[in-house]
Structure 1
Amino acid sequence: MQHPLTHVRGFNRTLCATAVAIACFSTSFASAQEQSLVEEGSKLERIEVTARKTTESLQEVPVAITSIGAGELTEKGISVLTEVQQFSPNTTLQTSRGTNSTLTAFIRGVGQQDPLWGYEPGVGIYIDDVYMARPQGAVLDLLDVQRIEVLRGPQGTLYGKNTIGGAVKYVTKEMSGDPQFTAQATLGSYNQQDVKVTGQYPVIEDVVYMGFGYANLSRDGFGTYLQSALPDQDRENYNKDLWAARLTLEVHATDDLFFRFGWDKTEDDSNAKGGYRLLPSLLVDAPVPDSKFDSYTSLPTWNKVELEGYNWLAQYNVNDALELKYIGSHRESYSPTNIDFDNTSLDIFDVPAEYKDENDTHELQANFSGNDFSVVSGVYYYDGESCGNFDAILGFLGRAAFSTPGLTREVSGCNNSESWAVYSQVNYDITEQLSVSVGARYTDEEKSATVNNGLVFYNLYPYSGWFDGYERPAGELVPQVLGRDANGDDVLDSPAVESWSRFTPRVGVEYQMNRDMMFFASYSQGFKSGTFNPRASGPEPGVKPEVVDSFELGMKSDLTDSLRLNATLFSYVHKDRQYIGVEGDSDDPTALQQRLRNAAETEGQGIEIEMTYVATDNLQFDVAYGYIDFDIVKNDAIPPLIGLASTPENTFNFAANYLLDTSWGSFIFNANYYYRDGYLLFETSDLIQQDAYGMVNASVSWESVHGNWFGGLHLKNITDEEYLVGGYDFVTPDPDTGELGPGLGGDTTLIGYYGDPRTVHITVGYRF
């Protein structure tokens, strides 16, 4: 794998040359075609998005954005959010290690890998403009979805904190008011059995509509737990056992007044995911398995992710120019999980954990449209509590070193946030072709945190009944180590409290050269919240927010009635990056000090190109390409940074779609080839890295002449590529030979988690 810093200087010249070439080509081509486009119209689809919180054409929005609609999702058999990464340049959406539902998201190399409570994501996930604050449960199964929008680059003005990499928006279908019902069933590889039911019904004609959706999704494991210290438990690995439900009530009180109330719940009982040992164990008979999806464990294999949320919307059109909107939500989640870091039948590095989250959001928005300008503005409030606990069980090490029944480092605590923000963005037309956009957001946030951290000289599990025989003695707790009183003095019975505020601007210029071509340039800033170290072993201050300053130069163009080309050049500086440094004697687990600091600064630049070519009325080709390069400006992280995590230098997707109309109905054939360059799993280690790989997918979908019956056959990862999406590296390289020896836990813990293997599934459905 080539070092990520190679060719940094040469890239700047390449970037400029590419920008000039695109501009020259587009200008001359569009001028020759302008008149014919007006006369002939366009074969290209008009795609509507809400990236700027108003409905606009994709080609009119000066933002790097990918939108995938409901039809395309169905045709390609895309059923889970992580598959969307293939169609958005410089985007990583992958399932985190240990569970099926926790999301690892990076856009343009910016994100957050560690899902521990207290850490904030770098990519915001939104469901109907409601923010999902935690990565647990963010790997959404797509139910009753209208489209998925991926906004790349900082979205700090309209979307606020924790969108320094970008935002992913999940937009559900609006109701038409007509009675509708759709049922579909799916059978596939590994005994996949899915059922989805959606529909709507007018409770009061033209006034009140009720919508519903339910999904039950199950699949056997891709692999097996080959050894287990516990008898009579489910040994499937990478299985799926999930249900999700949604209810929506819409009230069209008048032509200008609209209300929507929603409820959704997801319960994922899939097993905990066991990792693949990349090295054989030194302590027990646990060789490298034959299958990347086989593992060993000393923990229970059960796992759970529970999500539930309520949301509500009130929208009032005061007049043709002014719209008022209120969006509110309440969300809760609970996730007890079993993660065996070492993946052996020994209790040498087991980490059972619990995550609990609860948050409320309120947003009041005003949208005004005048003759030459428009304004989007609002006030936003967020109140969230994020708590958890984990037990790092080093039982074998404890018995060997301390002559005790075991050894556990327990960490627990809460990291709570209360913030408010006010924002506004103005788009002003200077002339018919030239416009400017100016926006800003002011955010004020206060966080409080407690951390309990200590050693227990036996094997401890998070709560009574987790694991028979290993329960906490009554009244015994590890000490609180992080807390502070109002005078800033360290105490052991109060939370640490700090506050931050941030002004995040955006300035843009757009030039509409003709009706089919727009150029834009922008500067925007975003930030990821300051926070406290959830693994603190003693008093330490909170860290400042991370900040990204980003510059973009882009083009949106329909070069002909059948060729669309959108391109964005970007450059950013990522400052005050938050990293935990491990300080102390790595051979003594009782001496480790994990301190969170603003320890690094990086710079990145790249290009993103998306092209659609409608070759005939029946044949369409799509291309998405992303390139990113970066430099490390400041590197005080311990250990030091060596690259970007989960961020390949090049991403590429080529897709073809063919429509065939017959007397039996319409058939749509589509296939795509997706390529990712090699990438690191961790920014501070190259012990686990994924080589470049390509993936091939193919589908054929069908709809009957009358449109009531439909179906599809979908083949995913046809060449059965094996690719890493997560891992753990607790080993000690020999400084002379480089040979990997035991690390924390006393074993060679070098573990990989993999993406889905080759699968085939068939879907049949009926709608009326």
Structure 2
Amino acid sequence: MSRLNPSARHLLFAGAALAALTATPALAQDATLAEAQTDTPAAPAQTADGEIVVTARRREENLIDVPISMSVISGDSLVRSGAADITALQDKTPNLTLQIARGSNSTLIAFSRGVGQQDPLWGFEPGVALYIDDVYVARPQGAVLDIFDVERVEVLRGPQGTLYGRNTIGGAVKYVTRRLGNEFKANARASYGSYNQLDLVGQVTVPIGDSFAIGGAVARYKRDGFGENLTTGAEHYDKDVIAARLSAEFAPTDNIFFRVAGDRVLDKSNPRHGTRLLPNGVDPIYAPTASIYDTRAGIGDDNRVETKGLSATGEMGLSNSLTFKTISAWREGHTDTVIDFDNTRLPTLDVPAEYDDRQFTQELQLLYEGDRIQGVVGLYYLNGRASGAFDTVVGLLNTTTLTSGTVFTKSYAAFGDVSFDLTEQFKVSAGLRYTKDDKTGTVFRRNYTGIRSPYFGNAAAVPGLIRTDYTNSRSFEKLTPRISISYQPRGDLNFYASYGKGFKSGGFDMRGDAVFTPTTVNGYDPETIDSYELGMKGAFLDRMLFVNLAGFYSKYKDQQVTIQVPALPSGIASFVDNAGKADIYGVELEMRAVPSRHFSATASFGYTNADYKEFLTFVGGGTTPVDVADDRVFQNTPEFTVNASATWSADLAGGTLSFTPAVSLRSDFNMFEIPTPALDQDGYALLDASLNWTSGDGRYRIGVAGRNLTDGRYRVGGYNFPGAFTGNSIIGYYGPPRTVTGTVEVRY
């Protein structure tokens, strides 16, 4: 399992000790929570009495009352810490991995408690769902959201199959934007930092009368690359993004609320090609570069990702206890990108690609809030299409394989979740969701002689063997229950036990090669998880110390695992296994201490033990599945994660100066199910710090934030295509180096 090196192990233990120390209140005890948490680095939005309000169960509740292991991070705290995007959440949340995938700057890889999706190809479903204001984002392209116009982010761990449905088998990340309100507000923020980083963000809310308001936010992110493409001279690991949101809200009474919102993100950052980790031992052009951020990719630097969406939300109070809610949304995205898997000027293993997706969703909810009964029932519908095409160019053989396809999905669901107060201390909550997915998949795969196929511009390519050409349909149905029991001896202390089931929908392998694996035309089955959890959430020492503790045990079945192997003459063969069975268990601890208005601290600890009990796959071209569980490991699942931060503040020049150092540690982890020493990442630690001055009226802020201050080097992804005809293509992708950013912010 974990192979933490000695230095990283010492850092891990030191971080755990720091977590314990910083979570112990030691200062004055007469500060109220509402005063003290102004500068708490991870404190989300709160009510006047200091309660943290979340919507994990589709209704507003105090965080302590919710029997779900979850983290809540405010948008302001992410901005103050210099977080570039939502991948920074993994530095603040136990047992979570969020990383940027290959190719583009904005494709998301997400794992929680060992469950997720690494392959961002169209048609594959995520294991950790992303929501923007209760709207499900089905595809990982364009899902690396930047931090602007966001009130808070809620990270729900464990299966959320009842209230959120399919593909929340590992959890859900909810990106909650700010409501406009009925007062004029404006905000402008400018940041300049390392590698000529320039971020410009502006937001405005304009009320029109007492019940109507319009608002908008626009952000421009520009940064030079951490490295260079030594073949083309272009920036590598750069950023070039423009994003905007526009919304209108109408609230004629306290019981009626309507919101229409639109967003668009355009990412023209250069493609991420990665860097070679090993030479092929023959030709010097295949040697690794001096800098891990450099590349010699010769395929080019064209990359464009565009996503946009429109949503309409309505809430109508039918009575004092009954509310009707409707959420309608449309989203679409398009990606043009190139990936040079050999990292040389030659087309040894090149992949030009395009992705298209669109989705329409409609959700209807009926919420009830009584003295002893609270709950929600609803209906959900999704109509989606995911399609794309790519060439696999194997230049040393002068061959190309074109792969293209489309998956149409219609998903229907009915759900209900009800909580009942048996007494003032005991509560029971139960829910059930029925989901039906209808999928139609079309896959085409053909060999060509020549560099690139006609689809990607080579009209002279000679067509060869059609390897895959089929259209097939399948339906998947699943019941996903949830039940929990809570005991609250007092209002701010909750002990709970829960059970929940989640499932990820089945589908069709868009890379499937019917010559190598004829059964690919049948598709693959859903995966499921049964998760049991014991937890405690509480406030102690006059609400100066908050502790969330959870232990979980999960039975994981039929996990979908994508395996790609070199294969002549088509280049790469791919197939999806429903791997078998696995047991996952672990612990999550989060603490927040606020002993005074001048000091606060947070700490978290995550432990995950994920072990395959059965892993059936075909080996060496055999036709009988073989159990290789002893040789397989979970990917993107460090055994330990530790995060700790502290904030010291002081009154200065009519405002408040606050200093926040933070450390995050991750034990070693594997990139894929098959251990690959050249790719797998050893344990590492990241040190961040921020210094912010805020005026007494909150209108002005001047800040500086440093991230990865020790300038550590750590891989966040990689690929392994060994062999002579692929140029021994073992490449890695790396997290950002040390960066320092200064910010000026003005609020009206």
Find the counterpart in structure 1 of residue 46 from structure 2. none
Query: In 2, Cα distance between the equivalents of 1:556 and 1:170?
Result: 23
| 3-state SS in 1 of match to 2:253 | coil
* Equivalent residue in structure 1 for 2:442, among 445, 450, 453: 450
Secondary structure of 2:248's match?
Answer: strand
Aligned to 1:26: none
In the TM superposition, residue 413 of structure 1 has moved relative to its aligned partner by 0.3
Q: Identify which of 692, 696, 710 aligns with 1:719.
A: 710
SS at match of 1:424: strand
Distance, in Å, in 1 between the alignment partners of 2:79 and 2:313 is 28
Other-structure match for 2:656: 666
CA distance in 2, matches of 1:308, 1:472: 33
Q: CA deviation at 1:529?
A: 0.6
Work out whether 1:568 is the aligned partner of 2:541. Answer: no
CA 1:524 to 1:214, structure 2 compared with 1: closer, same or farther past 3 Å? same
Aligned equivalent of 1:178, options 165, 176, 183: 183
Aligned partners of 2:454 and 2:461 also within 8 Å:
no
Q: Contact 1:393–1:408 (CA<8 Å) still a contact in 2?
A: yes
Correspondence for 2:106: 101
Judge conservation of contact 2:31–2:597 (CA < 8 Å) in 1: no
Match of 1:275 in 2: 274
> Residues 329-353 of structure 1: CA distance to partner in whole angstroms, max 9, x if unpaired?
0001000111001101111100110
User: Does structure 2 conserve the Cα–Cα contact (< 8 Å) formed by 1:551 and 1:571?
Assistant: yes
Q: 1:292 to 1:326 in 2, by over 3 A?
A: same
Structure 2 letter corresponding to 1:690: Q
The one-letter code sitting in structure 1 at the alignment partner of 2:522 is P
Shift of 1:40: 11
Query: For each residue in 1:281-340, what CA deviation from the matched residue of structure 2 results, as whole angstroms up to 9, or x when unmatched?
Result: 433524221211011112111211100100110110111100100001000100011100
Q: 1:543 aligns to what SS in structure 2?
A: coil
What is the distance in 2 between the residues matched to 1:479 and 1:2? 44
**Which whole-Å CA distance do the structure 1 matches of 2:531 and 2:548 have between them?**
19
Indicate if the aligned counterparts of 2:311 and 2:328 stay in contact, CA closer than 8 A: yes
Structure 1 residue identity aligned to 2:680: Q
CA distance in 2, matches of 1:518, 1:259: 34
Residue 463 of structure 1: how far off its partner (Å):
4.3
Q: What are the superposed Cα offsets for residues 122-166 of structure 1, whole Å, 9 maximum, x if unpaired?
A: 000000000110111111011110001100000000000001100
Task: Decide whether the 8 Å contact of 1:389 with 1:462 is kept in 2.
Answer: no
**One-letter amino acid of the counterpart of residue 654, structure 2:** W
Secondary structure of the equivalent of 2:670?
strand
Counterpart amino acid of 2:62? S
Aligned residue in 2 for 1:430: 422
Match of residue 133 from structure 1: 138
CA contact (8 A) 1:353 1:462 kept: no
1:510-563 CA-partner distances (Å, limit 9, x unpaired): 000222211000000000011111112225212111001000000001122211
Aligned position for 1:734: none
Instruction: Report the Cα offset of residue 482 of structure 1.
Output: 4.3
2:609 to 610, 629, 647: 629
Shift of the alpha carbon at 1:455? Answer: 0.4
Q: Is the 8 A contact 1:391 1:462 kept in 2?
A: no
Post-superposition Cα deviations, 1:346-378, rounded to whole Å, max 9, x if no partner, equal: 111001100000000000001001221111111
Deviations 1:41-68 (A, max 9, x none): 9967421111111111111111001000
Which aligned pairs between 1:499-510 and structure 2 lie closer than 5 A? 499-510=475-486
Paired letter, 1:597: D
Deviation at 1:599, TM superposition (A): 2.3
**1:479 offset after TM fit, Å?**
4.3
Paired with 1:473 and 1:127, the residues of 2 have a C-alpha distance of: 45
| Offset at residue 226 of structure 1 (A) | 1.4
Q: Which residue of the partner structure matches residue 606 of structure 1?
A: 586
| Residue from 194, 204, 211 that aligns with 1:207 | 211
Compared CA separation, residues 615 and 255, structure 1 to 2 (3 A): closer
Q: Is the 8 A contact 1:94 1:105 kept in 2?
A: yes
Identity %: 40
Give the superposition deviation at 1:194. 1.1
Deviations 1:406-434 (A, max 9, x none): 21011100011101100000101111101
Report if aligned partners of 2:2, 2:669 keep a CA contact under 8 Å in 1: no
- Aligned partners of 2:399 and 2:570 also within 8 Å: no
2:329 counterpart residue number: 329
Q: Is the contact made by 1:284 and 1:344 (CA closer than 8 Å) also made in structure 2?
A: no
The reply to whether residue 550 of structure 1 matches residue 519 of structure 2 is no
Match of 2:676 in 1: 686
Distance 1:543 1:525 in 2: 20
Higher RCO (CA-CA < 8 Å; seq separation 6+) = 2
1:596 aligns to 2:576 (yes or no): yes
Closer/same/farther in 2, CA of residues 592 and 106 from structure 1, 3 Å limit: closer
Per the alignment, in what secondary structure is the counterpart of residue 558 of structure 2? strand
Conserved 8 A contact 2:449-2:461: no
SS in 1 for 2:617: coil
Deviation at 1:280, TM superposition (A): 1.9
The code of the aligned residue for 2:545 comes to: L
Match runs of 1:332-351 below 5 Å = 332-351=332-351
Q: Hey, what's the Cα distance between the residues in 2 that align with 1:284 and 1:196? A: 45
Q: Is the 8 A contact 1:450 1:480 kept in 2?
A: no
Q: In the TM superposition, what are the counterparts of 1:272-671 in structure 2 within 5 Å? A: 272-281=271-280, 282-396=282-396, 398=397, 406-460=398-452, 463=455, 470-472=457-459, 479=466, 481-483=468-470, 495-538=471-514, 540-561=521-542, 562-581=544-563, 586=566, 588-590=568-570, 593-638=573-618, 640=628, 642-671=632-661
Q: Secondary structure at the match of 1:85?
A: helix
- The yes-or-no answer on 1:705 pairing with 2:696 is yes
Letter in 2 for 1:672: A
CA contact (8 A) 1:390 1:462 kept: no
What residue number does 2:229 align with?
225
SS at match of 1:689: coil
Q: How big is the alpha-carbon RMSD for the aligned residues of Structure 1 and Structure 2? A: 2.3
Matched residue SS, 1:226: coil
Which amino acid is 2:523 matched to? G
1:38–1:72 distance in 2 versus 1, CA, 3 Å = closer
Unaligned runs of 5+ in 1: 5-21, 23-28, 30-35, 229-233, 399-405, 465-469, 484-494, 732-741
Please report the TM-score for the alignment, with normalisation by the length of structure 1: 0.87
From the superposition, tell whether residues 482 and 498 of structure 1 become closer, same or farther in structure 2 (CA, over 3 Å): farther
CA deviation map 1:169-203 (0-9, x unaligned): 00001112111111111100000011111011012
Q: Give the TM-score of the pair, scaled to structure 2.
A: 0.90
Structure 2 distance, partners of 1:392, 1:592, is 8
Partners of 1:385 and 1:152 in 2: CA distance: 28
Deviation at 1:638, TM superposition (A): 4.9
The DSSP-based 3-state class of the residue aligned with 1:82 is helix
Structure 1 residues 93, 591: closer, same or farther in 2, change over 3 A?
A: closer
Q: Shift of the alpha carbon at 1:651?
A: 0.2
Aligned partners of 1:299, 1:113: CA distance in 2, in Å? 23
**1:298 partner SS:** coil
In structure 1, the residue corresponding to 2:230 is in which secondary structure? strand
Amino acid at match of 2:568: D
Structure 1 Cα separation of the partners of residues 153 and 633 of structure 2: 29
Q: Give the CA deviation at 1:37.
A: 11
Contact 1:223-1:237 within 8 A present in 2 as well: yes
Alignment partners' CA distance in 2, 1:638 and 1:311: 45
Structure 2 unaligned blocks of 5 or more: 5-19, 38-49, 620-627
Q: How much has 1:579 moved relative to structure 2? A: 2.5
Alignment partner, residue 492 of structure 1: none
User: Given that residues 633 and 673 in structure 2 are in contact (C-alpha distance below 8 angstroms), is that contact kept between their aligned partners in structure 1?
Assistant: yes
Aligned twin of 2:8: none
CA distance in 1 between partners of 2:296 and 2:479 (Å): 49
Alpha-carbon distance, 1:481 to partner: 2.6
Question: Residue 477 of structure 1: CA displacement?
Answer: 9.6
Q: Distance in 2 between matches of 1:625 and 1:61?
A: 20
**1:759 and 1:462 mapped to 2: Cα distance?**
43
Instruction: Say which SS state the counterpart of residue 285 (structure 2) adopts.
Output: coil
Q: Structure 1 residues 110, 37: CA separation in 2 closer, same or farther (over 3 Å shift)?
A: farther
**Does the CA-based 8 Å contact 2:450-2:461 persist in structure 1?**
no
